[in-house]
Chains A and B, each alone.
Chain A
């Protein structure tokens, strides 16, 4: 079944535009030298709005932990149950994390600690989302 389609807004549009170009681009505070995801109007650490810029990242990470959704609340995803939901930390800044369903990894067989690489998956017309794939 298709995943739920993100609806970009003014703040998130640059992020989703990059994803649609198969790039992972997150906010970077040049004052703090810290990455930030999801995007905010200001830097989480210093509060600056002016020092925030968009920065492409390599898209490499590791699996921190995971759960398996067996009885979730989101109608559109119910036919997929059970499915993995992993927490991915970004190698370039481990305080930044993402969710992933780990395409290709069977439920319950998640290799915690394994390296992953960002990939992009179509969820709707002209809309990709960022996903993560285990690196062999």
Chain B
């Protein structure tokens, strides 16, 4: 099943309009339930079981049968990474009966495992070393456009077990090597919370405002999350976050609070991606891919500053708009990444959605950003509103363009959508359209 190295990324400046714009479409999606953690006993709630369920729901949504699937793109990386510790690894405990006789299916899922479990007879394309959801929908779109497969399942599992998230592995060591030698001794574990909190502080100083000005955005993310039936908040009986809840919540990296951070969960999501031509014969209205773009910028010194973050996000926006042949005024739905609330303003301003320029975000947040209002920013509720699935941004975009977002359905035009799981430095963007051009 392994494939040769394949140059599929659109990750440089000046590539022009994507030559396959509108020729690939998303025809289905499926979400598993979203649990806080796998309880380590319910075998129908493992990461593998949830990924199979998500695939079955995506195929059902599209009206596709297993024999029609000829591509499987599954992110096989561990969401908690090498710092995961007990929250991410089953080992060294004894395994179970097949198919749970190794980490595969418990804390890891890949294409080969899924093909076998789902009994997909005609898969000819199941690459390994698949990137995260930030890039994998782009990989799927390009792969289909290049003829590597025609009907592809794209799966993103996000695991979480008992134990504090990312409190093990390298984070528990007394020594720091590699890039960590420049951050760990002073207490910085090197995550996106640290990467963005310093520029966020500089943002407040440069443009005016305080961290509490993020509150309306966080609260609205929770509101949108409660309007998303499959999400963690809505399915777990969470109540609406209030401003008092937010400002009185405990700090993690002061001024970053607990409610500025998404909640790790155990869940999986799948998308059915195919050619536009085939999608038109499937069950749902196609949601066309108008462009995919990626970026991986290198920081100059120890810590990116605000200038660097703004430059990176400007370049990512330029790449995406150029590839889609669209501009800020053309984008109806905007679902940027919000895993830490403090990075969303950088994306909003770079893409100038609804005319928001540098330094305008806090005033924009204080305006009407509800889904029923004139500026339905991040209508998905993102990861703050749904848990760390990293997929809400994509699913909401698809639903908004289909017109099936239910109580989250925006009242403004919904014909184009931007969605991303990306940090300012690395990741990717997707532009979707209700129409192929």
> Do A85 and B301 touch across chains, with their CB atoms under 8 A apart?
no
| A67 with B183: CB separation less than 8 A | no
Determine how close the nearest CB of chain B comes to the CB of A82; give it in whole angstroms.
7
Cβ distance B169 to chain A, nearest Cβ, rounded Å: 10
- What is the interface size of chain B, counting residues whose CB is below 8 A from a CB of the partner? 40
Q: Tell me whether B187 and A101 are in contact (CB under 8 A).
A: yes
CB pair B185–A129 under 8 Å, yes or no, is: yes
* A97 with B175, Cβ < 8 A, contacts A3-B185, A65-B205, A73-B83 known: no
Q: Among the listed stretches B251-259, B279-287, B325-333, B394-402, which one makes contact with chain A, having 4 or more residues with CB under 8 Å of it? A: B251-259
Indicate which residue in A75, A97, A129 contacts B302 across the interface (CB closer than 8 Å): A97
Q: Contacting chain A: which of B32-40, B95-103, B196-204, B228-236?
A: B196-204
Q: What residue in chain A is nearest B181 (Cβ atoms)?
A: A6
Chain B residue with Cβ nearest A89: B305
A98, CB-defined interface residue at 8 Å: yes
* A120 lies within 8 A of chain B by Cβ: no
Query: Which of A4, A7, A9, A70 makes the CB contact (< 8 A) with B250?
Result: A70
Q: Is the Cβ of A37 less than 8 Å from the Cβ of B254?
A: no
Within 8 A of B (CB), among A2-51: 2-9, 12, 36-38, 44
Partner of A85, one of B166, B188, B298: B188
**Chain B CB within 10 Å, residue with most, of A4, A80, A85, A100:** A4
- Tell whether, in the assembled complex, residue B166 and residue A73 are in contact, meaning their CB atoms are under 8 Å apart: yes
Count class of interface residues, chain A: 35 or more
Q: How far is the CB of A123 from chain B (nearest CB, A)?
A: 6
* Complex interface bits, B295-315 against A, C-beta within 8 A gives 1, otherwise 0: 000101111010000000000
Partner of A70, one of B171, B185, B189, B253: B253
Asked if A65 and B171 sit within 8 Å, CB to CB, the answer is no
Per-residue CB contact flags for chain A residues 78-115 toward chain B (1 = under 8 Å, else 0) read: 00101101010000000111111100000010000000
**A57 contacts the other chain (CB 8 A):** no
B67 in the interface (beta carbon within 8 A): no
Which residues of A lie under 8 Å from residue B172 when comparing CB positions?
A: 75
Q: Which residues of A contact B (CB under 8 A)?
A: 2-9, 12, 36-38, 44, 64-77, 80, 82-83, 85, 87, 95-101, 108, 123, 129
* 17 residue pairs A–B, Cβ–Cβ below 8 Å: A3-B185, A3-B186, A5-B175, A6-B184, A7-B181, A9-B178, A44-B298, A65-B205, A67-B198, A70-B254, A71-B250, A73-B83, A75-B167, A77-B187, A87-B305, A99-B188, A99-B303
16 more A-B contacts (CB under 8 A) besides A5-B176, A85-B188?
A5-B175, A6-B176, A7-B177, A38-B302, A65-B198, A65-B205, A66-B201, A67-B197, A68-B254, A69-B254, A77-B187, A80-B187, A85-B253, A97-B301, A97-B305, A108-B254
